[in-house]
Every structure is written in C-alpha cells, then in structure tokens.
C-alpha cells in the first residue's frame, strides 16, 4: 500500500514538472508511475508493480518521443526564428543565467560564450531553446 501511495505522489509531482517543462517525457514517466500505483492498490506485490512500471515505461517513452516529434512543425520553427537577431536588455544576472526584458516580459536567457554581462546591457538573441533565449553581446 505504501508503494502505491509513493508512486501516486511521484506521478503527481512528475505531472506538475511536466506542466512547467513541456517536454512530454515527464508525463510518460508519470503515467508509468500511475499504472504502478494502480497495480499496487489492486494486486499488491512489489514484483507486479515493478513489471507494470517497466512495461509502461517501455510503451510510454517511445510513444512520447514519437508524439513530440510529430508535434513539431514548420510553423513553430518559423516563429522561433522570428526572435533571432532581436534586441533584449539584461535586467538581472545569476551565476549561470540572466533574466532579460523582451516583448514586454521577463525571459530566462543563457549567454553561451561565457561573456561578462552587466545589468542594463543590450544583447541580441542568437537562438531560442523552448522558452529560454540564447543571447550574445551586440556587435
């Protein structure tokens, strides 16, 4: 019973993580954990739970990969390309990332070249990785 509850909680946490990451892989693992939790509640036995989670992972992860590839389309790639070359302004910096102002909101950004960055500095978008902008100094 405790294994079922633990898998149910893990499934919920992975679902929340999926909502924030949009990768679809966390959702696949969450479904596998949910199937393991249901197996634990109805049949018990750690062996049955382990087999259920393993089989569900073998089915869900390739399905998630296929679905993610299928959801990518030319239109979404073109929207991402529209951001390249646009100007952003650094509003705060952290050890491994910076926050920039772009299109009236705050975005996470990475400076790939390891350049020194100052608050208020103008930069250009080099690429976009999901909701993270990859930026470089203006030239």
Residue 122 has pLDDT above 70, yes or no: yes
Write b or e for each residue in 54-79: b if 16 or more Cβ atoms lie within 10 A of its Cβ, otherwise e: eebbeebbeebeeeeeeeeeeeeeee
User: Residue 53, Cα to own-chain centre: how many angstroms?
Assistant: 22
Phi, psi of 112 (to 5 degrees): -70, -30
Class assignment of domain 84-137?
A: mainly beta
- Kindly state the tokens that stand for 45: 């036995």
pTM of the model: 0.57
Domain ranges in the chain are 2-72, 84-137
pLDDT tens for 47-86 read 999 999 999 999 999 999 999 888 876 665 555 567 788 8
């Amino acid at each position: 019973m405790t294994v079922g509850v633990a898998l149910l909680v893990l499934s919920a946490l992975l679902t929340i993580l999926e909502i924030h990451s949009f990768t679809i892989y966390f959702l696949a693992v969450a479904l596998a954990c949910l199937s393991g939790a249901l197996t634990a509640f109805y049949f018990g036995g750690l062996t049955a739970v382990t087999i259920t989670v393993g089989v569900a992972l073998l089915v869900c992860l390739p399905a998630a990969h296929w679905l993610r590839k299928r959801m990518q389309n030319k239109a979404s790639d073109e929207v991402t390309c529209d951001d390249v070359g646009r100007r952003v302004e650094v509003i705060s910096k952290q050890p491994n990332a910076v926050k920039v102002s772009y299109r009236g909101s705050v975005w996470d950004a990475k400076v790939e070249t390891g350049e020194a960055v100052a608050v208020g500095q103008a930069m250009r978008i080099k690429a976009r990785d999901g909701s993270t902008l990859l930026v470089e100094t203006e030239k």
